[in-house]
C-alpha cells in the first residue's frame, strides 16, 4: 500500500503502533485489496458517449465489475456511493471527466449528472 507523504505524516505513527500491537497479540493484519491510502482515479471520456445510456455504460465500466448495474438514476447514485468492488462505500476517489465540454453540448442531463456527482463529497470531480 502506498501512502501519500502528508497522510503518512499525520497517521503513520498510528499505523505503526497498530501493526506492532497486532504482531504482539498474534493478530494478522492484511490491508483491503480494494482500499488504499492512495486515492483511486477514474477517467471518464466524453468522446465515448453522446447520450445518457452511453454515459451509464461508460461510468458503469469504470466503477463496477462487468458493468452489471441498473443503468438508471437510482442505480447511478448507488454506484457513485461506492461499495461495488472497485471502491469501498464512500471511499474517496478522483473522477476526471475529459472532453466534458462535448458532453455538456450533447447530454440534455449534463447539469443533473454534475449535481448528483457533487452531492457525493467523497468524489473529487475534475472536468477537463
Please tell me the predicted confidence (pLDDT) of residue 107.
98
Q: What is the CATH number of the domain that holds 78?
A: 3.30.370.10
- The answer to whether residues 64 and 102 belong to one domain is yes
- The answer to whether residues 62 and 118 belong to one domain is yes
pLDDT, one tens digit per residue, over 100-125 is 999 999 999 999 999 999 999 999 99
- The answer to whether residues 117 and 64 belong to one domain is yes
**What is the number of domains present in the chain?**
2
Distance CA 80, CA 73 (A): 11
CA distances from 12 to 17, 39, 55 (A): 9, 16, 39
pLDDT, one tens digit per residue, over 19-31 is 788 788 877 666 5
pLDDT, one tens digit per residue, over 50-65 is 999 999 999 999 999 8
- The answer to whether residues 21 and 47 belong to one domain is no
- The answer to whether residues 52 and 83 belong to one domain is yes
Residue 1: is its pLDDT beyond 50?
A: no
Is the pTM for the entire model greater than 0.85?
A: no
What percent of the chain lies above the pLDDT cut of 90? 59
Please tell me the predicted confidence (pLDDT) of residue 29.
65
Predicted confidence band of residue 8 (pLDDT cuts 50, 70, 90)? low
- The answer to whether residues 45 and 101 belong to one domain is yes
- The answer to whether residues 46 and 13 belong to one domain is no
Dihedral sign of CA atoms 84, 126, 70, 56 in order? negative
- Per the structure, the complete domain to which residue 16 belongs is given by 1-35
- The answer to whether residues 68 and 20 belong to one domain is no
CA distances from 120 to 13, 108, 113, 116, 127 (A): 30, 21, 11, 7, 16
- The answer to whether residues 47 and 101 belong to one domain is yes
Q: Is 43 helix (H, G, I), strand (E, B) or coil?
A: strand
Amino acid at each position: 500500500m502506498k501512502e501519500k507523504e502528508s497522510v503518512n505524516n499525520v497517521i503513520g505513527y498510528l499505523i505503526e503502533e497498530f501493526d506492532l500491537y497486532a504482531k504482539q497479540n498474534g493478530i494478522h493484519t492484511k490491508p483491503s485489496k480494494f482500499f488504499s491510502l492512495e486515492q483511486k482515479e477514474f477517467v471518464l471520456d466524453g468522446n465515448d458517449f453522446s447520450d445518457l445510456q452511453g454515459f451509464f455504460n461508460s461510468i458503469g465500466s469504470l466503477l463496477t465489475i462487468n458493468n452489471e448495474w441498473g443503468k438508471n438514476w437510482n442505480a447511478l447514485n448507488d454506484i457513485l456511493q461506492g461499495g461495488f468492488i472497485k471502491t469501498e462505500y464512500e471511499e474517496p476517489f478522483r473522477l476526471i471527466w475529459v472532453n466534458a465540454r462535448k458532453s455538456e453540448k450533447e447530454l440534455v442531463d449534463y447539469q443533473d449528472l454534475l449535481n448528483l456527482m457533487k452531492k457525493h463529497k467523497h468524489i473529487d470531480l475534475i472536468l477537463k
